[in-house]
Structure 1
Amino acid sequence: MNGSQNGTGLVLKDVVLRLGGIPLIEISCHIEPGSVLTIMGESGSGKSSLLDFIAGFLRPDFTASGRVVLNGRDLTRLPAQDRNVGLMFQTPLLFPHMSVLQNLMFAVPAKAGSRSRRRSLAEQALADVGLSGYGERDPATLSGGQQTRIALMRTLLAEPEALLLDEPFSSLDRTRREEVRTLVFRLAREKDLPVLLVTHDEDDALAAGGPVHRLAPDET
C-alpha cells in the first residue's frame, strides 16, 4: 500500500491531518483502481475531514501536510473543481428545486454533448439502479434508499476518477443498507474506480472486501 509503479489509482503520501496542531490522522496508502480501502474510527476521529482534504474542501480550522496523487496527477494544491473526485456524504444532498432527472443531468459533463444526449445518460442511470420512470419525481418524495441510489448515480455521471464515501449507508435501514452498498461497490468496481470508505460499521468494512485501516486509540 505504498504506491504503484504504473501511476494508477489513488495515493496518499505521508498525509497528516491536524486540528489545533494536534495530529488526528497519519496515513500513507495506495488504493488500486477497482479496489476499496476502508478507514475505521469513531465519530470525531477526523475520518470525514480526511475525505474533505482529498476532495479539496478541508475546513480552515484543520491543517494538513503530505500529498494526494490520483492516476499520476498531484491534486494536493488544485482547487476542488479540478480534482475530478466524487464524494458521497451521509445524506444524499439532492437539489430540492430540481426533479430527479434534472439532478442527474446536472452532473453530466458538458463534453457528453447535447441536452438530449445528457437526458439519455440520466435516464439510463435511473434504469441502472431500478428507478426507471422516476425522472419527473420530486426528490423529497423518494425513500432514503432511493435518494441514496440517485445520489450515487449523480456522482458517477460526473465521471470521477476516484470515489470517496463518507458513511453514505448510515441513514438506511438494514435491508436497504445491504442493497445499496452492494450496488455502490459493484458499480465502482465496474468503472475501475479507487474507493476510500470511512465508517465505524464493521459490516460496511466486510462488504467492501478490501483492506481496512483502523485508527489507533490515540488518533481518535
Structure 2
Amino acid sequence: MLNIDGLVTSYPDWRVSFSATLPKGEITALIGPSGAGKSTLLGMIAGFVPVESGTLSFDGEDLLPLGPAERPVTTLFQDHNLFLHLSVFDNIAIGLPPGLRLSPAQQAQVKQAAERVGLGDMLARLPEQLSGGQQQRVGLARALVRGKPLLLLDEPFSALDPALRREMLAEVARLACEQGITVLMVSHNPEDAQLIADQVLFVDEGRIALQGTPDILQNSDHPGLLRYLGQ
C-alpha cells in the first residue's frame, strides 16, 4: 500500500499538498486539469521533486530518505527515451543494474519482459524499425525488467491513436494483475480511468479533491470535476 499524507512542495507562486492511499496491486488513475499538480505528485513519489513536509511510505517503508534509484518505483513517461543505436534487447537491458556483462539470469529477464509485451521476436530490431506502439512496449518492458512493485505512468500513451492507446492500457492492466504491481497513472482522458482503473484521484488546484471508484466520474457533483469534464 502506498500512503501519502500531507505531502507538500512549494513554488514561488504555488503550493501543493497531497494526501491519499493507493491499495497494493491496484491501478489508480490520477486525473485533473492541466497544471493541477498531477505530474508534480508523481515526481514527489519518484524522488525527482523535493518534499518540504509530510510522509510517504510503501508497504510500511519510509520512502522520503531514499534517492530515486533506491525507491521501489519505476516511472514511464510519454518520451520513452529509447537509444536509437541500440537494439530492443539492449534498450530493455538498460533497466537492469549496470555491469560489464549481463548474467544468463539477466538475459533471461530481458527476454521474458520482451515476451510479456509481445516483442519476443523483435529483440534484434532497432527503434527505427518499430511502430510507435512497439516503441512504447519497449519502454514498458524496460520498466517491467526492473522488477519494482510501484509503477508510475506519466501519460506514456497520450501520443498514440485511440485504438492503440486502449491496447496499451489493457496491456498495463494485464501485466499489473499478473505481477501484483501497484500502478499510479496520470491521464487527461477520463475514458482511460474508466477502462482500467480500480480507483480515481481527481486533482484540482494542487490537492486531491476527490477519491473513489471510476463511478465518481459520472455520479459526483463536485464543481471542479464538472468543469473538468465540461459539464
TM-score interval w.r.t. the shorter chain? 0.7 to 0.9
Q: Secondary structure at the match of 2:94?
A: helix
Over 3 Å counting, the alpha-carbon distance change for 1:217 and 1:68 in structure 2 is closer
1:22 pairs with one of 9, 14, 19: 14
> In structure 2, which of residues 55, 73, 93 is the aligned counterpart of residue 85 of structure 1?
73
How far residue 56 of structure 1 moved from its aligned partner, in angstroms, is: 0.8
Contact 2:15 2:206 in 1 (8 A): no
Summarize deviations over 1:77-119 as a string: whole Å, max 9, x none: 21111112010101211222321101112223579x9522222
User: What is the TM-score when the length of structure 2 is the normalising length?
Assistant: 0.81
Deviations 1:56-82 (A, max 9, x none): 111x7xx54212101111011211111
Q: Who is 1:3 aligned against?
A: none
Q: In the alignment, what sits opposite 2:210?
A: none
Structure 2: where are the runs of 5+ without partners?
208-223, 225-231
Tell me by how many angstroms 1:140 deviates: 2.6
Q: Which runs of 4+ in 1 moved over 4 A?
A: 217-220
Match of 1:10 in 2: 2
Counterpart residue type for residue 59 of structure 2: N
Q: Which residue in the other structure is 1:36 paired with?
A: 27
User: Match for residue 142 of structure 1?
Assistant: 130
Give structure 1 stretches of 5+ with no counterpart: 1-8
Deviations 1:128-171 (A, max 9, x none): 22222211111132111111111111101101120111011101
Task: Give the structure-1-normalised TM-score.
Answer: 0.85
Give me the whole-angstrom Cα distance separating, in 1, the residues matched to 2:142 and 2:176: 13
In structure 1, distance between residues paired with 2:197 and 2:184: 12
- What residue in structure 2 maps to residue 53 of structure 1? 44
* Partner SS, residue 15 of structure 1: strand
Corresponding residue SS for 1:27: strand
CA RMSD of aligned residues (A): 2.2
User: Quick one: distance in 1 between partners of 2:171 and 2:70?
Assistant: 27
In 2: Cα distance, 1:142 partner to 1:178 partner: 19
Query: Residue 66 and residue 218 in structure 1: after superposition, are their counterparts in 2 closer, same or farther (change >3 A)?
Result: closer
Paired residues of 2:37 and 2:206 also in contact (CA < 8 A):
no
Q: Shift of residue 172 of structure 1?
A: 0.7
Residues of 2 paired with 1:30 and 1:215: CA distance? 14
Distance 2:94 2:74 in 1: 14
